[in-house]
Amino acid sequence: MAKIQDDNKLYTILRPFIDYHVRKSFRHYEVIGQENIPQNAACIFGANHTNTLMDALVLLSMNSEKKVFIARGDIFKKPFIAKLMHFCRILPIYRIRDGFKSVKDNNAEIIDKAADVVRDNVKLFLYPEASHRTKHSLKQLSKGIFHIALKANEQFGHEKPIYLVPTGIDYGDYFRYRSTALINFGKPINVTEYVNNHKEENEAVIINNLREMFTERMASLISFIPDNEENYEAIWELTKIKAGFKGSLPERLERNQKTIKEILEWKEREPEKAEKLFEKVNKFIKKRKKKGISIFSVTKEKPCHTVLWKTLVALLGLPLYIVAAVANLPIWLVTMILKKNFKDKAWGNTISFATETILHPIMMILCIVLTFCKLPWEIALSSCILFYGSYLYFVDFGEFLRRWISDVKWMFNKKLKNF
């Protein structure tokens, strides 16, 4: 029987196409910490889960290496979906909420298959939080990833060490298409070495200790605010205002982490003052969002200067933006309709990626056929080149206009600026 990690010609053909469109989905995309990944070893990666299917796609597209993923089992209920998932190299894992029978009947076999994946030196990726959530935090990690690591160690740990590699995905925005994505790999845990050094401990103790270490290392890779922090929104708002958005993605992450740490330490020292500030910030957030003002505008040091040059750019770029909007009407209209049918807004970026990936190539082919049949080749070629980049221009300039309008509102809103 074919293994999930075995080569597949159709998958190999489609993979570069998907990777390319994933990269297009982000204005800035960066991978750091790759030196922490053990080479020619059995590696199991655990990443935070915040942005539905995009979490898997950004990890898949970081390089051309073969990868296998594990997703929650309830997605695999329908036979067609199960086959599609297998084709995409995604294994199911079942949780207690899926029913004790599902866990008992299926997970032992899945863990064996997962162990076999890493035995073949194929990288295995899991999301140990077990469900996605659009927060800069971490839920308690499930035990599945550690069971797989221990099973792999039991089967072939004497041949090569098993590593757990903490992975952080830090997005600039969970809901807006063409935001930013930073993938950050941390210092791995040598499971084989750990087990050999703690032979006196039973499996339950080993799993709990590994989970504690792994959680700590994952948290250090993202803009992390503790999950039990009731003032999450206020702390994240203060972090964005103080840390700002300048510099590279790793520099932004470092500033965010430093700022969050300072805020939490200050809260410990002066809880009453902190509580009053957080209450004030929460009111500010509500008013800012009600007025349609972006946090990017709030962080501007000289909003007047920003508004002046942005107004000029907006006037110059608006005609082309309108043309791009008309040319790409099917893509953004289908995207809007699909998003409205999803209650979970976290699926927004996945939907945007999927519609662009499917519809843009089809429309590009139509553009080539129609223009080269009806127009001189010079004009047809120019038209096709312009159309090819028009959707990204539409999205990026649309975001530019949104922030420009926000800057204008912020500049003239004295009450909110003095809040």
Query: Using CA atoms, how far apart are residues 391 and 332, in angstroms rounded to an integer?
Result: 9
Domain identity same for 138 and 211: yes
Domain identity same for 254 and 212: no
pLDDT digits (tens, 9 = 90+) for 110-141: 889 999 999 999 999 999 998 899 999 999 99
Number of domains in the chain: 3
- Residues linked to residue 27 through DSSP beta bridges, in sequence order: none
pLDDT digits (tens, 9 = 90+) for 258-296: 999 999 999 999 999 999 999 999 999 999 999 999 999
- What does the pLDDT average to over 167-179? 96
Domain identity same for 274 and 166: no
Per the CB < 8 A criterion, the answer to whether 111 and 148 are in contact is yes
Domain hosting 124: range is 9-219
- pLDDT at position 80 is 87
Tokens 């298959």 correspond to 113
Query: Using CA atoms, how far apart are residues 182 and 101, in angstroms rounded to an integer?
Result: 38
Let me know if residue 1 belongs to a domain. Answer: no
Of residues 94 and 363, more confidently modeled: 363
Domain identity same for 265 and 200: no
Let me know if residue 196 belongs to a domain. Answer: yes
Helices within 3-119 (DSSP H only):
9-24, 53-60, 79-87, 100-119
Query: Using CA atoms, how far apart are residues 414 and 404, in angstroms rounded to an integer?
Result: 17
Residue 54 Cα distances to 222, 249, 269, angstroms: 16, 18, 39
Inform me whether the pLDDT recorded for 157 exceeds 60. Answer: yes
Let me know if residue 265 belongs to a domain. Answer: yes
pLDDT digits (tens, 9 = 90+) for 308-335: 999 999 999 999 999 999 999 999 999 9
Let me know if residue 3 belongs to a domain. Answer: no
Of residues 73 and 240, more confidently modeled: 240
Domain identity same for 181 and 43: yes
- What does the pLDDT average to over 209-231? 96
- Residues linked to residue 126 through DSSP beta bridges, in sequence order: 46
Please give the radius of gyration of the chain, using alpha carbons only, rounded to the nearest integer. Answer: 24
- pLDDT at position 74 is 79
Domain identity same for 267 and 368: no
Domain identity same for 281 and 317: no
Domain identity same for 257 and 370: no
Q: How confident is the model at residue 417 (pLDDT cuts 50, 70, 90)?
A: confident
Mean pLDDT for all residues in the chain? 93
Tokens of 143: 């035990």
- pLDDT at position 270 is 96
Let me know if residue 355 belongs to a domain. Answer: yes
Q: Which residues are CB-neighbours of 324 under 8 A, at least 6 positions away?
A: 390, 391, 393, 394, 397
Inform me whether the pLDDT recorded for 163 exceeds 80. Answer: yes
Let me know if residue 32 belongs to a domain. Answer: yes
**Domain end position, chosen among 160, 187, 219:** 219
Domain identity same for 282 and 195: no
- pLDDT at position 228 is 87
Residue 362 Cα distances to 74, 177, 210, 271, 359, angstroms: 32, 20, 48, 57, 5
Let me know if residue 187 belongs to a domain. Answer: yes
Least confident of 27-41, 79-93, 128-142, 271-285: 79-93
Q: What are phi and psi of 210, to 5 degrees?
A: -65, -40
Domain identity same for 384 and 309: yes
Closest residue by Cα to residue 401 from 324, 314, 343: 314
- What does the pLDDT average to over 20-34? 97
Inform me whether the pLDDT recorded for 103 exceeds 80. Answer: no
Let me know if residue 207 belongs to a domain. Answer: yes
* pTM exceeds 0.85 for this model: yes
- pLDDT at position 322 is 97
Per the CB < 8 A criterion, the answer to whether 89 and 98 are in contact is no
- pLDDT at position 130 is 87
pLDDT digits (tens, 9 = 90+) for 333-348: 999 999 999 999 999 9
Helices within 200-347 (DSSP H only):
203-219, 232-243, 249-269, 271-290, 295-298, 303-327, 329-340
Query: Using CA atoms, how far apart are residues 204 and 147, in angstroms rounded to an integer?
Result: 10
Q: What is the CATH number of the domain that holds 195?
A: 3.40.1130.10
Domain identity same for 256 and 309: no
Domain identity same for 62 and 110: yes
**Domain end position, chosen among 254, 271, 290:** 290
Tokens 């702390």 correspond to 235
Query: Using CA atoms, how far apart are residues 266 and 261, in angstroms rounded to an integer?
Result: 9
Q: How do 90-93 and 162-171 pair as beta strands? A: unpaired
Residue 111 Cα distances to 126, 202, 211, angstroms: 12, 19, 17
**Domain end position, chosen among 269, 290, 311:** 290
Tokens of 83: 């086959």
